[in-house]
A and B are shown apart, each in its own frame.
Chain A
Amino acid sequence: MKQLHKKIDLSVDIGGLKMRNPVMAASGTFGYGEEYEEHVPIDHLGALITKGISLKPHSGNPPPRLVETTGGMLNAIGLQNIGVKALIKEKIPNLMKFGTPIIVNVFGSTLREYGEVARILDGIDAIKGLEVNISCPNIKRGGISFGTDPRQVFKVVSKIRKASALPIMVKLSPNVTDITTIARSAEEAGADVLSLINTLTGMAVDVDNRIPKLGNITGGLSGPAIKPIALRMVWEVYNKVNIPIVGIGGIFNTYDALEFIIVGASAIQIGTAHFINPSVAMEVINGLENYLRDNHIGTIQDLVGSLETPTFSIL
């Protein structure tokens, strides 16, 4: 068999999370999976991350919840979700049929709630990991308030570590002074993987009526506009921690994904791009395969953190 036709292996194992490729659907952009059933071959994804789930259902924020901005969009959904029990009963059985690893994004408004949700999800076969949301900017309690203080991060992650034997991925907020201190806290508390970044807090104003364009006043910015910031943060964190990183932030094509991998991400998540192009994940998976083949690179792992930085200086 010719080298050219050799099947490229895209599989990755990040912190115990085994995936057939490093392309995941990001939380909040893929619903509970079923919404995209008709539009995306879900069984081809590396993993699927559910909408953020809490102990009890959340009704979410008042409308308008969305506004497009140049190169991105602001959202303030407010973590509307059906609660962990309904997730297990109504959504997981349907999701299982795809054979794609399911990662549940969890959040709480108290430390105890985080632990409780993790405990309930532990031991369910189809669920292969937890993503801990300490970074949602759109709810008043919980979420980001846990994600901006290194001590709180340590407490939340420790709590979940005790409650669950599943691989734990901690999703970091970019709305902090130094993301690496938060990353280090999560690592010390026992996180297996870090995913970053969540959305950047922003706002938009209707000047005719002098009112905010979002019901929640502020919202989280996502899309191509945030990619340079996300890349910089992945690179910073990669240089400070020893656990794998999942890159998120404005990935719209293969080259975007490659940039994240080269600066240190072992896998990537695609979010906002799904809304515009439901085939984007498939395109990126094929694109990564072609890139590895064309550049004679054996595995994704060989590419992770392969960024070459200038070593000389002019005095």
Chain B
Amino acid sequence: MARVIFNRKISSDYYRMRILCPEIASRAKPGQFIMVRITELLDPLLRRPFGIHRLCHERDKHTDNNSPSCIEILYKIVGKGTIVLSEKKKGEGIDLMGPLGNGFYLEQNIETAVIVAGGIGVAPLFSLAQVLKGVKGKNTSRDKLTIFIGGENRKDILCLNDFKKIGARVVVSTIDGSLGTKGLVTDLLVNFLRKHSPLETKNLKLFGCGPLPMLRTLSEIAFYKNIPCQVSLESRMACGVGACQGCAVPTEINKEGDRVVLYQRACKEGPVFDSTIIFWDYKSILLKV
């Protein structure tokens, strides 16, 4: 069974847990997730999904070329499940299923990447940055990997130094202006694209994870600028393996010339999707009920 290496409070509502699980860690890709059984008892009942935050070893902070033996999850206390999880102690066994789902699709020749993270959405994006840096080599300049991190206030800005340490450029925004630029994280991206000529951003790839409105804006920007964009979506899940269809995400698919809505499973086809296929107008579907 997997074992908790540490379970640390990193700020008011956020925790980071490192778990020794070589079988999962050695196969895991950025963007994939694990299903954690919170308790052996039946309350809370369902497993909870967590994106793989970091691939690492028991002691060191960052992965080297050896196959990682540990994963980390980064989580926010939002309810009963995460409260119980936060009480797990070092050395305790923990029941995991994974790695699950499809991670980020990474081509070999990614020249420049921009990652946009909103709040706890930063969780699966650190392992992505780790691998992106790995793909391109440690000596590539900071300009090649930029992270925009946004949140309500300074407490929601996580992993700032971790991204810096792996050699990424980090820019922060908060809604209340308590850290970085005041405003939305997607505005940082708009400014970035304004400053760079289309030629400079020709081979740019976008990645994002965060609240739905943020991802929707990100997707619209990517669409207008014609930049490939992958987003990792959060959804409530029961099974995590594609059996229950509970985590369905509405997507728009071209079928014989018509755009039709097709539900895809966040746990199986996702959680990472090409942003152009997501049917963002969730609310208009709800109105049809």
Q: Are both chains from one complex?
A: yes
Residues of chain B from 11 to 55 with CB closer than 8 A to chain A in the complex = 37, 42-47
Within 8 A of B (CB), among A63-82: 63-68, 70-73, 75, 77, 80
A8 to B237 CA separation, bound complex (whole angstroms): 38
Q: Is the CB of A276 within 8 A of B47?
A: yes
Q: Do residues A29 and B263 form an inter-chain contact, with CB atoms below 8 A?
A: no
Q: Mark A59-100, 1 if CB is under 8 A from B, else 0.
A: 110111111101111010100100000000000000000000
B1 — which chain A residues lie within 8 A by C-beta?
none
Q: Is A215 an interface residue (CB 8 A)?
A: yes
In the bound complex, do residue B289 and residue A216 qualify as a contact, i.e. CB atoms below 8 Å apart? yes
Q: Mark B242-268, 1 if CB is under 8 A from A, else 0.
A: 111111111000000000011100001
Interface pair B243/A63, CB less than 8 Å apart: no
Expressed in whole angstroms, the Cα–Cα distance for A172 and B130 within the complex equals 52
Chain A interface mostly helix, strand, loop or mixed?
A: loop
List residues of B (265-288) whose CB comes within 8 Å of A's CBs: 268, 282, 285-286, 288
Interface flag for A15 (CB, 8 Å)? no
Kindly report which residue of chain A lies nearest to residue B236, judged by CB atoms: A66
How many whole Å from B135's CB to the nearest CB in chain A?
28
Q: Name the contact of B45 in the complex, choosing from A63, A77, A224 (C-beta under 8 A).
A: A224
Which partner residue on chain A sits nearest B44 by CB separation?
A68
Q: Which residues of chain B come closer than 8 Å to A65, judged between CB atoms?
A: 236, 245-248
B214 an interface residue at 8 Å Cβ cutoff?
A: no
CB-CB under 8 A from A216, the residues of chain B are 289
Given contacts A62-B289, A276-B37, contact A71 B43 (CB under 8 A): yes
Q: What number of B residues sit within 8 Å (CB to CB) of A?
A: 33
A60 touches B245 (CB 8 A): yes
Q: In the complex, are the beta carbons of A73 and B238 less than 8 A apart?
A: yes
Most chain A beta-carbon contacts within 10 A, residue among B42, B240, B246, B285: B246
When distances are taken between beta carbons in the complex, the residues of chain A under 8 Å from B47 are 275-276
- The answer to whether B241 and A73 have CB atoms under 8 Å apart is no
**Quick one: given A77-B244, A275-B46, A275-B244, are A60 and B239 in contact (CB under 8 Å)?**
no
Provide the bound-state CA to CA distance between A275 and B243, in Å: 9
The tally of residues in A whose CB lies under 8 Å from a CB in B reads 37
In the complex, what residues of A have CB within 8 A of residue B249's CB? 63
Report yes or no: B97 in contact with A39, Cβ–Cβ below 8 A. yes
Complex Cα distance, B286 from A5, in Å, reads: 59
CA A303 to CA B236, docked complex, whole Å: 40
Hey, which chain A residues are within 8 Å of B226, CB to CB?
none
In the complex, the answer to whether A274 meets B243 with C-beta atoms within 8 Å is yes
Is there contact, CB below 8 Å, between B43 and A70? yes
Cα of A39 to Cα of B262 in the assembled complex, Å: 27
Query: Is A217 an interface residue, CB under 8 A from the partner?
Result: yes
* Nearest A residue to B42, CB-CB: A224
Q: Judge whether B241 and A39 touch: CB under 8 Å.
A: yes
Decide yes or no whether B217 CB sits under 8 A from chain A.
no
A-B CB proximity, top 7 nearest: A31-B243, A66-B246, A35-B243, A35-B242, A62-B285, A275-B239, A275-B238
Query: Can you name 23 A-B pairs with beta carbons within 8 Å?
Result: A31-B241, A35-B241, A35-B242, A59-B261, A62-B282, A62-B286, A63-B249, A63-B250, A65-B246, A65-B247, A66-B237, A66-B247, A68-B45, A73-B46, A75-B238, A75-B244, A80-B248, A80-B263, A215-B289, A252-B42, A275-B46, A275-B47, A275-B239
- Footprint of A on B, CB under 8 Å? 37, 42-47, 97, 235-250, 261-263, 268, 282, 285-286, 288-289
* Given A59-B262, A62-B250, A77-B248, 10 further pairs, Cβ under 8 A: A31-B243, A51-B245, A66-B237, A66-B246, A66-B247, A75-B238, A217-B289, A224-B42, A275-B46, A275-B244
